Amino acid sequence: MPSELAVEVKGLKKSYGDFEAVKGIDFEISKGEIFSLLGPNGAGKTTTVEILEGFRKKSSGEIGVFGLSPEHDLTKLKERIGIVPQSGALDRYLTVSETVTMYAGYYRNPQPAEHVIELVGLQEKKNERAIRLSGGQQRRLEVAIAMVGNPDLLFLDEPTTGFDPAARRETWQIIKGLAELGKTILLTTHYMDEAEFLADHIAVIANGEIVAAGTPYNLGGRDKLRPKITLDYPEGVAPPPELKNVFTPSGAVTFEVNDITSAIYTIAEHARQNNVSLDSLQITRPSLEDVYLSLIGYDTEQAAEPEAKAARGGRSRRRNR
Amino acid sequence: MIRTIRLLLKQVAYTNKAFWRNPASAFFTFAFPIMFLIIFNALLGNHTVLIGDKRAHYSTYYVSAMGTFGLISACYTNIAISISYARDEGLLKRISGTPLPKISYIGARVLHALFVALLLVVITALFGRLFYQAELPTGVTLLRFIVALVVGAVSFSALGFAVTSRVKDADASPAVVNASIFPLLFLSGIFIPLGNGAPSWIHWIARIFPVWHFALSMQAGFIGTAYNWTDVIIVAAWGLFGLLLSVRYFRWEPAR
């Protein structure tokens, strides 16, 4: 494997009995990048990550983490990876400082505990027991645990699920900071904004297959999708007839156009003649969420009958929406 | 090897810190045997009981019995419940993702349980000596007694690990663990001595399982009845059985 790759996955498959959780996926993660696996619950994200972490055995395919096999070189590999698991788990009666020091002791070349505690911004809380920390602080402690072995690759499994907006921002800043230290990060999430803010590359996984891969900017052809223009028109004023348009439920008009420059010119000229204010004018690019929802086959008709969907989809599906 | 042992000893220190800061484990493990000792002595303290061919004060009998109960609580009950919780919360999984050798973690739990059990037996014995004039083992009896304690602690710990594979989730653990041990404690004469009048099926159950055999070794220390290596070997065999079950069925990950 070329040395600039941190992770290489080729034709990875994993079955549980008859159920194929991962159906042959390929991806690569370069050293030093933040790579995000995006997908709904049950798509195969966690299975894939746990195979790379050595918790599960693959059914077939090739995987390498820094050229090591998670099945055969696990002891060596554990020294080089740090894991922030999905469900938080801490020794609730140990303090921040004791916890980080304890985990540091498990590694051959750990970072000083003090340094890591400072890195995640918990120095004020270092003598507090884990049980007395807030949710965001506990998550930061978990990041500290994952960091203390001085790993080259960090696995972050849904690091901000259940956080309030401020705690999410805080955690994102810490993750950005880790990337700046040169760590490679594999982030799984089902939050679009999280992937958009953090990731260098994204792979979208649905039903055990990668349905799209790219950067947050060009994923699923996002860069080629046309922007939308919306504007409110006062009663009695018809929008410019030469542009294709639809009325949205709120009464605003949405234009879907190819040439945005001439469309803006047309709209502005028409507005000046008809005395229409442009205060409500909006130009929006399709969001990553729009792209993602179309990629995972989210059906707007189903979304219109949420109860039927919840009843069919059960708990995990409901959490996604 | 050296590293594994060094990590194990460090882990004992952390396990110990967490143990004493957890009010539930510290209270149930420590206060219960002493509380029972006081209650049973208040009820029966001045009477005597025939154990084998020896007539002993109930106070001495209960020092021995509550020592037995304390050791089983510290090793079997406490390990089974706390490991079930640690597994359910994902703590065991997290640890198994680090370079810490698994044997260091498990060994630390067993060694810690052994320390707690020894401390409990010492406290029970001193308490019995101080308030109930109980007799304490000395000399060779003490040495044999300590061997039985160590074998008992390790064996009941192994059984504690083994039973976690039968516990679905942490909330079920106190029920499963207590349901598996309390009837046996009664059937092995821990709370009420098994006289000759006890039905033979109870004697048979007592003979099959390790609790009664372990209690006999403890009685040999406190009451001066015969010490049989067979009892120690039967307890050890149960421990080995627990170890084999654990090796085969122990899970580091929560059931999903």
Contact A91 B253 (CB under 8 A): no
CA atoms within 13 A on the CB side of A24: 0
Rounded mean pLDDT of B9-36?
89
What pLDDT shows up at residue A313?
Answer: 40
- Nearest beta carbon to residue B93 from set A81, A85, A105: A85
Contact B97 A94 (CB under 8 A): no
In a mutational test of the B interface, the residue from A19, A65, A78, A91 whose CB has the highest number of chain B CBs within 10 Å is A91
In a mutational test of the A interface, the residue from B98, B102, B251 whose CB has the highest number of chain A CBs within 10 Å is B98
A128 by Cβ neighbours in 10 Å (0-12 / 13-18 / 19+) ranks as: middle
Contact A106 B99 (CB under 8 A): yes
Question: How close, in Å, is residue B91 to chain A by CA atoms?
Answer: 5
- Nearest beta carbon to residue A89 from set B11, B17, B90: B90
| Alpha helices (runs of H) in B22-101, residue ranges in sequence order | 23-26, 32-44, 58-72, 78-88, 91-96
Contact A107 B99 (CB under 8 A): yes
Contact A91 B99 (CB under 8 A): no
What pLDDT shows up at residue A306?
Answer: 44
What pLDDT shows up at residue A3?
Answer: 63
Contact B253 A98 (CB under 8 A): no
- Reduce the secondary structure of chain A to three states and give it as a string: CCCCEEEEEEEEEEEECCEEEEEEEEEEEECCCEEEEECCCCCCHHHHHHHHHCCCCCCEEEEEECCECCCCCHHHHHCCEEEECCCCCCCCCCEHHHHHHHHHCCCCCCCCHHHHHHHCCCHHHCCCEHHHCCHHHHHHHHHHHHHCCCCCEEEEECCCCCCCHHHHHHHHHHHHHHHHCCCEEEEEECCHHHHHHHCCEEEEEECCEEEEEECCCCHHHHHHCCCEEEECCCCCCCCCCCCCEEECCCCCEEEECCCHHHHHHHHHHHHHHHCCCCCCCEEECCCHHHHHHHHCCCCHHHHHCHHHHHHHHHHHHHHHC
pTM passes above 0.90: no
What pLDDT shows up at residue A298?
Answer: 67
Closest CA to B99 of A220, A34, A68, A73: A73
- Nearest beta carbon to residue A105 from set B10, B22, B91: B10
Residue A211 φ/ψ, nearest 5 degrees: -95, -15
Q: What is the pLDDT along chain A (321 residues), one digit of tens a residue?
A: 446 899 999 999 999 989 999 999 999 999 999 999 988 888 888 899 999 999 999 999 999 999 999 999 999 999 999 999 877 789 989 999 999 999 999 999 999 999 999 988 899 999 999 999 988 888 889 989 999 999 999 999 888 877 788 878 888 988 998 899 889 999 998 888 899 899 999 999 989 999 888 998 888 777 777 778 888 888 888 888 888 777 776 778 888 777 888 888 888 998 899 888 888 888 887 777 777 877 777 654 444 444 433 444 433 333 333
Question: How close, in Å, is residue B17 to chain A by CA atoms?
Answer: 7
Contact yes or no for B129/B136 (Cβ under 8 A): yes
Q: Please tell me whether residue B4 adopts helix, strand or coil conformation.
A: helix
Give the C-alpha separation, A83 to A142, whole Å.
Answer: 9
Residues 6+ apart with CB under 8 A from A55: B93, B96, B97, B253
What pLDDT shows up at residue A316?
Answer: 38
In a mutational test of the A interface, the residue from B6, B94, B95, B104 whose CB has the highest number of chain A CBs within 10 Å is B94
Partners of A109 on chain B (C-beta within 8 Å) are: none
Q: Which residues of A touch B (CB under 8 A)?
A: 53-55, 75, 78-79, 81, 83, 85, 87-94, 98, 102-103, 105-108, 129, 145, 149
- The residue of chain B with its CA nearest to that of A56 is B253
Structure confidence at residue B176 as a pLDDT band (50, 70, 90): very high
What beta strand segments (E) does B28-187 contain? Answer: 48-51, 54-57
Count the neighbouring beta carbons within 10 Å of the beta carbon of residue B243. 18
What pLDDT shows up at residue B31?
Answer: 87
Contact A98 B17 (CB under 8 A): yes
Contact A78 B99 (CB under 8 A): yes
For chain B, the average pLDDT equals 91
What pLDDT shows up at residue B177?
Answer: 93
Residue A89 φ/ψ, nearest 5 degrees: -145, 120
Closest CA to B60 of B160, B134, B121, B169: B134
- Nearest beta carbon to residue A98 from set B7, B14, B86: B14
Partners of A87 on chain B (C-beta within 8 Å) are: 89-90, 254
What pLDDT shows up at residue A26?
Answer: 94
Q: Which amino acid appears at position B131 of this protein?
A: F
Partners of B99 on chain A (C-beta within 8 Å) are: 75, 78-79, 106-108, 149
Contact A107 B91 (CB under 8 A): no
The residue behind tokens 């929802």 is: A293
Contact A94 B22 (CB under 8 A): no
What pLDDT shows up at residue A300?
Answer: 44
Phi-psi region of A221 (alpha: psi -120 to 50; beta: other; left: phi over 0): left
Question: How close, in Å, is residue A94 to chain B by CA atoms?
Answer: 6
pLDDT in tens, B52-89: 778 888 888 999 999 999 999 999 999 999 999 999 98
- The residue of chain A with its CA nearest to that of B251 is A55
Closest CA to B181 of B59, B23, B32, B50: B32
- Extract the tokens encoding A277: 């204010």
- The residue of chain A with its CA nearest to that of B83 is A91
The residue behind tokens 């194929």 is: A20
Partners of B89 on chain A (C-beta within 8 Å) are: 87, 89
In a mutational test of the B interface, the residue from A99, A106, A139, A148 whose CB has the highest number of chain B CBs within 10 Å is A106
- The residue of chain B with its CA nearest to that of A147 is B98
Strand partners, B51: B54
Q: How many CB pairs under 8 A join A and B?
A: 60
What pLDDT shows up at residue B256?
Answer: 66
